[in-house]
Amino acid sequence: MNKPLSFYRPYFLSKTMSFLRRRNSTDSSKTRIADPNIEKDGADDGDKKKDQYKIPQRRNSGSKKWSCWDNCCWFIGFICSIWWFCLFLYNTMPDSIPQFVTMAITGPLPDPPGVKLRKEGLTANHPVVLVPGVVTGGLELWEGRHCAEGLLGKRLWGGSFGEFYKRPLCWLEHISLDNDTGFDPPGIRVRPVTGLVAADYFATGYFVWAVVIANLAHIGYEEKSLYMAAYDWRLSFQNTEIRDQSLTRIKSNIELLVATHGGKKVVVLPHSMGVQYFLHFMKWVETPAPRGGGGGPDWSAKHIKAIMNIGAPFLGSPKSIALHFSIEVRDIAALRAQAPGLLDKDVLGLQTFKHLMRMFRTWDATFSMIPKGGETIWGGLDWSPETETVNNSAKKGTDNSTRNTGGNGNICDTKGVNYGRLISFNKDWAETHSSKIERVDFKHVAKGDKLTNSSNCDIWLEYHEMGNRAIKAVADHKVYTAGSILDLLHYVAPKLMARGASHFSYGIADDLDDPKYDQYKYWSNPLETKLPNAPDMEIYSLYGVGLPTERGYIYKVAPPSDCSIPFQIDTSVDGDSEDSCLRGGVFSGDGDETVPIISAGFMCAKGWRGKTRFNPSGIRTYNREYKHAPPANLLEGRGTQSGSHVDLLGNFALIEDVLRVAAGATGEDIGGDRVYSDIFKWSERINIKL
Amino acid sequence: MASNFLRLRKPYYVESTINCSSSSDQKLVNLSFGIDETRNQTKKRQAKEHHGRRSCLDSCCWVTGYLCTTWWLLLFLYHCCLPFTVVHEVPELMPAVRLKREGLTGIHPVVLVPGIVTGGLELWEGKPCADGLFRKRLWGGGGFTQLLKRPLCWLEHLSLHNETGLDPPGIRVRPVPGLFGADYSAPGYFVWDVLVKNLAKIGYEGKNLHMAAYDWRLSFQNTEVRDRALSRLKSKIELMYRANGNKKVVVVPHSMGVAYFLHFLKWVETPPPMGGGGGLGWCAEHIKAIVNIGPSFLGVPKAVSNILSAEGKDVAYFRAMVPGVLDSGTLGLRALEHVMRVSRTWDSVVSLMPKGGETIWGNMDWSPEEEHVCDFSKKRYFRLSPSDNNVNKSNAKQVFRVKDPVKYGRIISFGKAASVLHSSQLPTAVLKEILHMSASRNFNSSCGEAWTEYDEMSRESIQKIGAADKAYTATTLFDLLRFVAPKMMNRTEAHFSHGIADNLDDPKYNHYKFWSNPLEMKLPDAPNMEIYCSYGVGIPTERSYVYKLSPSNKCKRIPYQIDTSVDGEDRSCLKSGVYFADGDESVPVLSAGFMCAKGWKGRTRFNPSGINTYVREYQSKPLTSGIKSMAHVDIMGNIALIEDILRVAAGATGEEIGGNKIYSDILRMSERINLRL
């Protein structure tokens, strides 16, 4: 009976409550209505108590009926208030306190390398050019479709991903390129962000170059002596020049840096795919004007002191194959294994994978990451540079038992692993000797036997034009090496590869003087270009080691369903022993989680070492490896000794090397090679004409 | 048992709420229960008690929670619905949409040159108090929050060195590069944003649109010395020229950027050690047009009051409204003194001082604007019917011209009398006297560390200068400033000059301090180039000031302030101690338009190659939220202006967009200025 009253009660503040109480005592009509019921309730208790609680009753019940809803409100209000209070405290607090706290917990932090070297008296000397890699550079919108109205100048990639998280399909439409031309679709202009902000942070708080920049600033660098060579990392390298004149801009900016620094040459820091981009740039700048930059053959010698390649995928990365083949990498495959339905089924009609795959396949630049050099570099059916021959495998096994103390760099048991087989369609085929595998040629199997209902697929993928027979034929070929993988990709995605093949090449040149190598598609492949004639230049390869890196995959044919991607990594396959390199269908090797050592280190360890045909002027090369050590505790964030592909840019040892070189040191000054892995031994095994 | 408990609970509960704190009653009640129940009860009671004590705090929490929840709910709904409700951009703000339909596309690369104060600054190296601000904005964007959090630290980092005019040791503050560097100097204040968006619509993007960010605190030559800003600009223009199929660039400088770009034009022609070594033909080869927006070619009087007393019109008003706040160092703030100390280290402020002296700005008894009518509301009314406004206006003028003309020439006068009396009635040659007296400057040691140079002046000289009946023109002003701020003037006069050249071929004019003064430099030899002066008119603009001695006699206080008590009659140009003239709120028409209207018109000694000049005025209409606003900064969002810029960038010439478009008296004013051309 007093519910209606008590229901409204909480909506008044205490003051109004007291006011109401007073009013109620005079205005007795309400109480009279309430009274009889109360009397019924408390009939046993006698009259005395009735009088006592007649008036305050309402107040009580009001408090009592401070219902769940009110409590929730109260709770939220409480939390909010406390949150705001803390926020206020946090904002008024001097910024040095977090540092204090960190120091109290972890002990004094080591000085960042910039501060340390500044105390040593290092100062800014050579201007520095930063070349970001794939994915890490920001992209912003300059012209968009209707759905992107009002987002001009907002970041489409990087940062907070603009407003686009709200409209994913719109985002996909804008970030994809045209499937035929490899440029923007008509009506859309997405351009790289310029300036240091392009790639200092990828997303809020996730540093890419920020730590390097901060440390450079400590020894006196600033905007005028730093240049971020931002480019659209989705386009093929030559297309960045055609569309944005990116190469011309880099050339002009490097010339400006040299001119405004009294002729001091620049130190270039390319990261990840930026490494290949810069190789392309160096060939481009030498080539005469219509096709190239017309800088003349000694442009590099005049303008570049050193190229410090960070996490360099000179020879590509197997990861890109899995991405092209089935848009999977280890982590995604593992996720799929955990929650089988989630990613496969078209819950909510999302078809995330297919969308992503289509987007990914329009990005020409990703072709640059396909393994280069074929079986010569990546190993054949029965050998690979990372593993010793079968005869020695027993000995190797014993080595491995002591690897923790010996520190020979292997991160897993490589026994019996055939890294050369980048894709195998069964665990057995991944392991049996090649002579016992009977492979069926797939190239001549006709396609066109359409998948059932594939016409219903609203997302177009070239897989839909294959057929069951073709898919079976691909699986029947069983094992693919770096050489045959190209055939595979050409088979499953002919249009895509036709576009990619006109911009990139993956072979090894027999005769570098052949005039065909003047074509730009060879420029980013270190095995098909000569380094410029710049004997004073130095080339470093700085990369992380000690992390399991994808090196080969075991695939299976996915259970047939409409419109899905027909191949998947077979996550159920695991190695025999605890520390087997095979886990979740992925063979891991040593590297920085993305780029295997062989790709990052081979060129500097052997391909360019001394005077070779790839390096006719004898540019000095140095291999600098950084052994991965996980962050000691959470407060260290992503660690100061990390070896992983991107976190390496926050590695203090690497930054110190970079700063020293930027301040004028040579490779010998900073200690020449520093190698933890077996890269030199592996390079020995690679049989390439130099 | 349970029913018993329930029944009994009520009275107890009632009591406890009647008298929350009296536990004795409850104890009595409790005693009547069994032990088990007591324990049970106690727990419940505590809970109930808690409920019972819904105090003010709880209610507050509740209300906050309620509000928060509602807010979140609404926010959630808003965000859910937003993608479906199509957000259209205000069509009026996008003239580019219309022009694109006409088939306009961007042809010439565009370089934007921001003005003073509108560019962002970020920290590259700082004192310990600025920890954690590395590469964060100090000026522009979110930078102003730092002002609130650590004001002194912020001021310290924005100051420059008092003698060198460069960074103080241990501090490096650098301009923010990139298109969005000058975008929002303060939240909600669009500077370049609308223009950039419109340019983007007709096809511009990073490769053919460049923002020439520079440190606007430094003197122009120092931006090159420290940051290589001029070299970078040159290289950028050359790159854009080449990368866009040898199309010349269109330069759009704003405010002080105008003077900066004049400086650049001379710098680029000068051979290397001092200049850029581009050769004499560089401008002809690379520049199609310079569209100056709100140009402060001949300086602004505002800069004078800024230097003298760190006041602008707005600050003066504010002081009049709330007398105590700014003056009475309450809270130890002394904001103005701080502002003055910082802004006096900025050399660039001096570049904005009126140039051309009495010839341009008028002397004691004469000024080019003397016929100006100050009834702005009236004037706007007339201009709304623009058909033949010249006739209209001159009629209006005859009607209203009853009083003596305003003596705008006296940029600073002490006391109202000094601003109106005829010069013969004023004492003469006062300044000379004072200057002689300057030997007797003495340090007022009791004030401790000197903050501003005023602290180094003796009391008598301050008073002597500020004595009533003294007025200073654009020429004598510099004597005054040299006296009150000798160090600053020493430093800056090596970088800027404010005179008029007699003989432009004199080799002394090769020095960089003359480059940014249009009256002491020749335009480059580029007959095909075009120069536009685009500015807003119809807004009262500060033109001269009435000063008084500030009442406070204490140390570290600015001894002069604008006398806000002085007002003219109705429709007078004098309001709160400030004489207003026509302009765009910051720059008087005279400064913005004279060079294009007369100084460079045709073939003059300042413009030997006969570069075409156009005056494009944008009149103020009754405001509809910035869209047509004319004010100095807001003009960047003016659609007529944007349309002009887009057309020029798409290849149109000045004649094609309609030649001169004049609403103000600029031609007549220019006529009155007697300058040898």
The answer to whether B477 and B411 are in contact (CB under 8 A) is yes
Q: Above 70 in pLDDT, residue A160?
A: no
Three-state DSSP string of A142-167: EECCHHHCCCCCCEEECECCCCHHHC
Poorest-pLDDT segment among A258-262, A658-662, B411-415, B506-510: B411-415
Q: Above 60 in pLDDT, residue B24?
A: no
Tell me whether residue B644 is one of the annotated catalytic residues: no
| pLDDT-derived band at A547, boundaries 50, 70, 90 | confident
How do residues B107-161 score in pLDDT, each as one tens digit?
Answer: 999 999 988 777 788 889 888 887 778 888 887 766 666 666 777 788 888 889 8
Residues 6 or more apart whose CB falls under 8 angstroms from that of A53 comprise A38, A42, A60, B10, B11, B14
Classify residue A220 as exposed, middle or buried by CB count within 10 Å of its CB (0-12, 13-18, 19+). middle
Distance from C-alpha of A662 to C-alpha of A128, rounded to nearest angstrom: 7
Distance from C-alpha of B268 to C-alpha of B224, rounded to nearest angstrom: 11
Residue of B nearest to A188 (CA): B203
Residue from B215, B563, B584, B634 carrying the catalytic annotation: B584
How do residues B246-284 score in pLDDT, each as one tens digit?
Answer: 999 999 998 889 999 999 999 999 998 888 888 888 999
Residue from A592, A647, A657, A673 carrying the catalytic annotation: A592
Tokens of B377: 């509301």
Q: Above 50 in pLDDT, residue A530?
A: yes
Higher pLDDT pick, B62 / B494: B494
Assign B617 to helix, strand or coil.
Answer: strand
Assign A15 to helix, strand or coil.
Answer: helix
Among residues of chain A, what percentage have pLDDT more than 90?
Answer: 22
DSSP codes, B407-452: -TT-SEEESHHHHHS-GGGS--SHHHHHHHHGGG----GGG-S--S
Q: Does the beta-carbon distance from B17 to A63 stay under 8 Å?
A: yes
Q: What is the dihedral of CA B73, B77, B80, B81, to 10 degrees?
A: -170
Q: Does the beta-carbon distance from B206 to A224 stay under 8 Å?
A: no
Phi, psi dihedrals of residue A117, rounded to the nearest 5°: -70, -30
Tokens of A556: 């299976």
- The CA distance from A167 to the nearest CA of chain B, in Å, is 7
Among residues of chain A, what percentage have pLDDT more than 70?
Answer: 74
Cα-based distances in Å from B223 to A401, B232, B265: 63, 11, 15
Q: Average pLDDT in the B481-504 region?
A: 86
Q: Above 50 in pLDDT, residue B173?
A: yes
Q: Above 60 in pLDDT, residue A188?
A: yes
Tell me whether residue A272 is one of the annotated catalytic residues: yes
Tokens of A304: 């570049």
Please choose, from the candidates B266, B252, B272, the residue with its C-alpha nearest in 3D space to the C-alpha of residue B220. Answer: B266
Please choose, from the candidates B472, B470, B446, the residue with its C-alpha nearest in 3D space to the C-alpha of residue B458. Answer: B446
Q: Does the beta-carbon distance from A153 to B200 stay under 8 Å?
A: yes
Residues 6 or more apart whose CB falls under 8 angstroms from that of A282 comprise A300, A304, A531, A532
Other CB atoms within a 10 A radius of the CB of residue A462 amount to: 18
Start-to-end CA span in chain A (Å): 97
Please name the member of A49, A73, A217 whose beta carbon is closest to the beta carbon of B134.
A217
What pLDDT does residue A340 have? Answer: 54
Q: b/e per residue, B264-287, with b = 16+ CB within 10 A?
A: bbbbbbbeeeebbebeeebbbebb
Mean pLDDT: which of A95-99, A650-654, B196-200, B579-583 is highest? A650-654
What pLDDT does residue B427 have? Answer: 61
Average pLDDT, chain B: 75
What letter represents residue B498's amino acid? H
Q: b/e per residue, A128-138, with b = 16+ CB within 10 A?
A: bbbbbbbbbbb
CB contacts of A195 in chain B (<8 Å) are 177-178
Residues 6 or more apart whose CB falls under 8 angstroms from that of B98 comprise none
What pLDDT does residue A458 have? Answer: 54
Interface confidence: ipTM more than 0.90: no
Tokens of A264: 């001091």
How do residues B586-635 score in pLDDT, each as one tens digit?
Answer: 888 989 999 999 999 988 999 999 999 999 998 765 444 444 455 666 67
Q: Does the beta-carbon distance from B232 to A260 stay under 8 Å?
A: yes
Please name the member of A44, A213, A223 whose beta carbon is closest to the beta carbon of B177.
A223
| pLDDT-derived band at B21, boundaries 50, 70, 90 | very low
Residue from B632, B634, B644, B664 carrying the catalytic annotation: B632
Distance from C-alpha of A194 to C-alpha of A340, rounded to nearest angstrom: 41
The answer to whether B453 and B486 are in contact (CB under 8 A) is yes
Residues 6 or more apart whose CB falls under 8 angstroms from that of B380 comprise B538, B620, B621, B622
Tokens of A420: 């050369």
Q: Above 90 in pLDDT, residue B648?
A: yes
The answer to whether A306 and A538 are in contact (CB under 8 A) is yes
Residues 6 or more apart whose CB falls under 8 angstroms from that of B170 comprise B125, B126, B127
Q: Does the beta-carbon distance from B68 to A76 stay under 8 Å?
A: yes
Poorest-pLDDT segment among A281-290, A435-444, B301-310, B594-603: A435-444
Please name the member of B10, B132, B207 whose beta carbon is closest to the beta carbon of A95.
B132
Which residues share a beta bridge with A228? A130
Distance from C-alpha of B106 to C-alpha of B646, rounded to nearest angstrom: 8
| pLDDT-derived band at B43, boundaries 50, 70, 90 | low
The answer to whether B610 and B66 are in contact (CB under 8 A) is no
Tell me whether residue A45 is one of the annotated catalytic residues: no
Assign A528 to helix, strand or coil.
Answer: coil
- The alpha carbon of residue A313 and the mean position of all alpha carbons in its chain are separated, in whole angstroms, by 13
Q: Does the beta-carbon distance from B54 to A63 stay under 8 Å?
A: yes
Which of B32, B68, B121, B240 has the most A C-beta neighbours within 10 Å, making it the best mutation to test the interface with A? B68
Distance from C-alpha of A194 to C-alpha of A197, rounded to nearest angstrom: 7
CB contacts of B180 in chain A (<8 Å) are 153
How do residues B415-474 score in pLDDT, each as one tens digit?
Answer: 777 777 777 766 655 555 555 554 444 444 445 444 566 766 766 777 777 666 778 888
Q: Average pLDDT in the B176-196 region?
A: 62
How do residues A2-14 score in pLDDT, each as one tens digit?
Answer: 444 444 444 444 4
| pLDDT-derived band at B400, boundaries 50, 70, 90 | very low
Mean pLDDT: which of B532-536, B553-557, B623-627 is highest? B532-536
